[in-house]
Amino acid sequence: MDSSITQNMKSESQKKSISKPGFCCLGIIDNCMLRCKMCEKWKDDLVTQGMTEATTDQYKTFLQQLRTITDEGFELDIGGGEALMRPDLLELISYARDLGFKTTVASNGWLIDKEMARRIVESGLTSIILSFDSLNSEVHDSMRGVQGVHARVVQAIEYLRLFSKDIHIGLCTIIMEKTLDGIIELVEWSNSRRDKINSILFMAVMQPNNTVKQDKWFDQDFNTIWPQDTKKVVACIDELIRRRNEGQWIANSVEQLKAFRLYFQQPNKFVKKTACNMDRGLHISAVGDIFLCFKWDNLGNIKNGADISQVWYSKEAETVRENIRQCKDNCHFLLNCFFEGDYPFKCDV
Ligand code: SF4
Ligand code: SF4
């Protein structure tokens, strides 16, 4: 790690006042074979283009270090891009499992044939979350930009369950213009397949990944993905809340769904009322950079020997945490990412 950070380590007694990581996301690859309309990870990355990814050994060292500052069973969330495009992904998952981590991979399902499903199960992966936006294959495939994705996801569920009755198989569905009409039907479908599908999680559509930030993206370049009929989206979310309260398997909390409702009504007025919780978040980018939140300082790189057990307790990390707690961004990403409890959002509507 940077010697300056080593010198700036907090003392043992100061460390006790700093929370352990609450969330860790490894964006393990910045590439994807699909051509989604609501995500541009398949284009050259605006930040990491031309940079090299961390190696298998560098990730293993990082995982060993992370284990020293987290409890047994801490969950690693692994995404991308399409995480399964990384050839050593399953080796890293087995390594993480042996260290005592739980692991979750977000995948578009494209690469999961029968053999891949067997290998995924054998790796010890705890949970796989498959993108599935609609029961209507035309809707899903058009939003994902490639014909046949829908069929592959449906088949992937069957293959994964064939090899394990225990692996958690979840669906992740983005609420957006084209998927809105099929959301409730999708809840019914997944809830009637509880032997195969363990959860369905909804995400509110955001400005696509890997695009230059626009304050009014939903009115500008990306308005085609934003739900145009506010009453319709509110009615849909109210129905999700009703079903969630009834005990249907919807992974979002009622609080999160209420936050979605406010967001879809007036995305510009969406504000935090208390401090952001990303001060306990840890992100490792595809090229190994260490962040708590991407808006704030990079705290080192796992390729350069940065030791996360030292970085986490450094004075630099504490400065970033203070910035995060004070952050006044009207940040939409928190709606979907590391949403906790009665989350701190309100809206003047
Ligand atoms: S949303 Fe997922 S599947 Fe689509 S381009 Fe982005 S990373 Fe790929
Ligand atoms: S609100 Fe600020 S600190 Fe929190 S995730 Fe968004 S940009 Fe980061």
Closest CA to 195 of 241, 172, 149, 164: 164
Residue 10 within any structural domain of the chain: no
Residue 7 within any structural domain of the chain: no
Residues flanking ligand 1, CB < 6 Å: 32, 34, 36, 39, 41-42, 80-82, 108, 131
CA-nearest residue for atom 4, ligand 1, is 36
CATH number where 201 lies: 3.20.20.70
The ligand whose atoms approach the alpha carbon of 37 most closely is 1
341 Ramachandran zone, left/alpha/beta (phi>0; psi -120 to 50) = left
Q: What is the pLDDT of residue 347?
A: 44
CA-nearest residue for atom 3, ligand 1, is 108
Atom of ligand 1 lying closest to residue 80 CA: 7
Residue 2 within any structural domain of the chain: no
Residue 16 within any structural domain of the chain: no
Asked if residue 293 has its Cβ within 6 Å of ligand 2, the reply is yes
**In a structure prediction context, what are the per-residue pLDDT tens digits for the chain, which is 349 residues long?**
454 555 566 677 777 788 999 999 999 999 999 999 999 999 998 888 889 999 999 999 999 999 999 999 999 999 999 999 999 999 999 999 999 999 999 999 999 999 999 999 999 999 999 999 999 999 999 999 999 999 999 999 999 999 999 999 999 999 999 999 999 999 999 999 999 999 999 999 999 989 998 888 899 889 999 999 999 999 999 999 999 999 999 999 898 898 899 899 988 876 566 678 889 999 999 999 999 998 999 999 999 989 999 999 999 999 999 999 888 787 777 788 777 665 555 544 3
Asked if residue 278 has its Cβ within 6 Å of ligand 2, the reply is yes
Structure token digits, residue 259: 């936050």
CA-nearest residue for atom 6, ligand 1, is 39
Pairing of strands 168-175, 199-204: parallel
Pairing of strands 199-204, 23-27: unpaired
Residue 206 within any structural domain of the chain: yes
Cα(81) to centroid of ligand 1, in Å? Answer: 6
Asked if residue 276 has its Cβ within 6 Å of ligand 2, the reply is yes
CA-nearest residue for atom 1, ligand 1, is 39
CA distances from 227 to 40, 206, 258, 261, 340 (A): 19, 11, 16, 12, 25
The count of domains in the chain is 1
Q: Is the peptide bond before 81 cis (omega within 30 degrees of 0)?
A: yes
Residue 9 within any structural domain of the chain: no
Q: How far apart are CA 313 and CA 293, in angstroms?
A: 16
Atom of ligand 1 lying closest to residue 32 CA: 8
Q: What is the pLDDT of residue 343?
A: 54
Q: What is the pLDDT of residue 328?
A: 79
Residue pair 201/252 in contact (Cβ under 8 Å)? The answer is yes
Closest CA to 285 of 102, 45, 5: 45
CB contact set of 312 (below 8 Å; sequence gap of 6+):
18, 21, 69, 282
Q: What is the pLDDT of residue 273?
A: 66
Residue 12 within any structural domain of the chain: no
The ligand whose atoms approach the alpha carbon of 336 most closely is 2
CA-nearest residue for atom 7, ligand 1, is 81
Asked if residue 237 has its Cβ within 6 Å of ligand 2, the reply is no
CA-nearest residue for atom 6, ligand 2, is 331
137 is in which domain, residue-wise? Answer: 21-346
Given the structure tokens 């990730």, which residue do they identify? 59
The ligand whose atoms approach the alpha carbon of 43 most closely is 1
Residue 76 within any structural domain of the chain: yes
Q: What is the pLDDT of residue 336?
A: 86
